[in-house]
Amino acid sequence: MTKTLGPAPGFVNHPDYRIHISDSGQNWIARVGAIVLANSNRALVLGETGYETVIYFPREDVFLGRMQSTNDKTTCPFKGEARYFAQANDAKKQAVAWTYPEPYDEVASITGHIAFYKNKVSLESTPVVGY
């Protein structure tokens, strides 16, 4: 069973706000230079009012040994509390990715997924054969 925080308070104050999550239908690779941080044909695309789309990789498809958790946390009224990751060799622990360990009900499908900053990580996609 997926653990979530319950209904998102952001939607109470902003009922026209939209978040749409779907299967990407692509194979996605996240890398910094030659270092591959994630590779998945099961990624999700999250579209959100006022923001660029974001690719969320299943945690199992992220090379967590190449990453390190940071102590940073932020809260989104629509998704919940975010936790962050830096590259494993980054002494400054500058975040390159984030996750919502226990998101609100409306975005429960991103539980167990990790997203990467497009301005810090190269994201490449190719069609999944037979999709």
Give me the mean pLDDT over the 69-90 stretch: 96
Domain map (residue ranges) of the chain = 10-122
| Predicted pLDDT at 88 | 94
What are the pLDDT digits (tens) for 8-42?
A: 999 989 999 999 999 999 999 999 999 999 999 99
Q: What is the C-alpha end-to-end distance of the chain, expressed in Å?
A: 27
Q: Which residue has the higher pLDDT, 42 or 90?
A: 42
Write out the two tokens for 98. Answer: 């984030």
| Predicted pLDDT at 2 | 59
Per the rule left: phi > 0, alpha: psi between -120 and 50, beta: everything else, 50 is left
What are the pLDDT digits (tens) for 63-72?
A: 999 999 999 9
Q: Is the pLDDT of residue 131 over 70?
A: no
Name the band, by pLDDT with cuts 50, 70 and 90, for residue 128.
Answer: confident
Rounded to whole angstroms, the Cα distance separating 119 from 102 reads: 25
Write out the two tokens for 33. Answer: 């230079």
Rounded to whole angstroms, the Cα distance separating 101 from 74 reads: 12
Residues 125/16, Cβ–Cβ less than 8 Å: no
| Predicted pLDDT at 7 | 85
CATH T-level assignment (fold) for domain 10-122? 2.170.150
Q: Is the pLDDT of residue 1 over 80?
A: no
| Predicted pLDDT at 130 | 63
Apex 84 CA angle, 81 and 86, nearest 5: 180
| Predicted pLDDT at 48 | 97
112 φ, ψ (degrees, to nearest 5): 75, 15
Pairing of strands 26-32, 44-48: unpaired
What are the pLDDT digits (tens) for 92-115?
A: 999 999 999 999 999 999 999 999
